[in-house]
Amino acid sequence: MSTAIETHELSKRYRRASALTDCTVTVPEGRVCALIGPNGAGKTTLLRILAGLARPTGGTALVLDGEPRQDPAFLADIGFLGQEIPLYRSFTAEDHVRVGAHLNPRWDAAQARTRLEGLRIPLDQSVGKLSGGQRAQVALALTLAKRPRLLLLDEPFAALDPLARRNFLAALTSAVTDAAGRLTVVLSSHLVTDLERVCDHLILLAASRVQLAGDIDTLLAEHRLARKVEDVALEDLILTYMDADGTPAGNLLTTAGEES
């Protein structure tokens, strides 16, 4: 099985602080990977480096067998959705669909329109006038319409109510199924229960470092053996490793705010 993401001691230092330190992870192709960690753990930084939006200050990142770079073929393979939902507020959803058609080789405009119509999101209204949840749905539809091989989603649930979240996850799951093992997804979130439903892989970041990474079932099995307990929930596993780092575990589950 080929790997979609392979990083080696990936680091990002800003002038004052380290956002990511010696991050070494591997995500096989076709996986749906949860990126978990408290605010400021480095989740956004990692996703932005993988998308080619930020440059690492140390280490290497291989994404779909190449370094993230300014190359149309690489960019066509990456779907990125930032937590600020980057859309042109004065554009309508339809404008965005048309922009995407001009800028991408494999653009599926029909699919994007069908998805948005199915969610009853007006295509002809400027996205600045849509609700936060609707904007997130528009942005996801656009990201999927690009037909990427790697989907990088940063806090996609932040603006969504429970129903919209379920729609979003359903859309994501069907996109992964449709791609038949060719689509890899990395999504960051605080909401472990949502992630548990769709993810089969895990990267746990805290204080800019990787605390835990791997296949979720394997990690759970190892944890069961180590602790000699019958049943372990993903949440327990995560909390254990957050505690080990001395990070207040409460942070992880209760804070749903923005992260810089």
**What angle (nearest 5°) sits at the alpha carbon of residue 153, between those of residues 149 and 156?**
140
Taking CB under 8 A as the rule, does residue 80 contact other proteins?
A: yes
Stretch that binds other proteins, among 23-31, 96-104, 179-187, 206-214 (CB under 8 A): 96-104
Using CB under 8 A, pick the residue from 102, 180, 231, 260 that binds other proteins.
102
Closest CA to 187 of 88, 107, 111, 79: 79
Q: Return the C-alpha torsion angle 126, 127, 128, 129, nearest 10.
A: 70
Closest CA to 192 of 221, 235, 154: 235
Stretch that binds other proteins, among 22-30, 93-101, 158-166, 235-243 (CB under 8 A): 93-101
Taking CB under 8 A as the rule, does residue 53 contact other proteins?
A: yes
By CB atoms closer than 10 A (0-12, 13-18, 19+), residue 15 is: exposed
Using CB under 8 A, pick the residue from 35, 36, 46, 51 that binds other proteins.
51
Q: Which two tokens stand for residue 148?
A: 């990427």
Taking CB under 8 A as the rule, does residue 130 contact other proteins?
A: no
Q: How far is the CB of 180 from other proteins (least distance, A)?
A: 22
Stretch that binds other proteins, among 23-31, 100-108, 116-124, 191-199 (CB under 8 A): 100-108
Closest CA to 121 of 137, 140, 143: 137
Taking CB under 8 A as the rule, does residue 113 contact other proteins?
A: no
Q: In angstroms, rounded to a whole number, what is the distance separating the alpha carbons of residues 247 and 36?
A: 13
Q: How far is the CB of 256 from other proteins (least distance, A)?
A: 19
Q: In angstroms, rounded to a whole number, what is the distance separating the alpha carbons of residues 41 and 198?
A: 22
Taking CB under 8 A as the rule, does residue 40 contact other proteins?
A: no
Taking CB under 8 A as the rule, does residue 103 contact other proteins?
A: yes
Residues that bind other proteins (CB under 8 A): 48, 51-55, 70-73, 75-76, 78-80, 82, 84-91, 95, 98-100, 102-105, 139, 142, 146
